[in-house]
Amino acid sequence: MRSEDLACFQRKCDFCGTLTVLSPGGDGVVMDVRSADGPGSTVIVSHRECLATQLHPHSLEPPRVRLVGRKQ
């Protein structure tokens, strides 16, 4: 990897399939998925907006998803 690669680190969004920027200031988030039933985990990469719009309409989390990691 080169330093230029980290300046704009991108991966495909697991919801819409287009690239999302995971570098500071980017539009992406990473979720760790784990179960209380046993070992193992996975990672979901998403645009903030893709994740926020997939949550239940009555969920209180969309505004928090849009703000996590952002300077307030």
Output phi, psi for 54, to 5 deg.
-85, -15
> In this model, does residue 60 exceed pLDDT 90?
yes
Percent with pLDDT over 70 in the chain: 90
CA 22 to chain centre: 8
Distance between start and end Cα atoms, the chain: 31
Q: Is the pTM of this model over 0.85?
A: no
Res 63: pLDDT: 94
- For residues 27 and 20, the answer to whether their CB atoms sit within 8 Å is yes
Residue 13 CB neighbour total at 10 angstroms: 21
pLDDT tens profile 8-43: 889 999 999 999 999 888 999 999 999 998 889 999
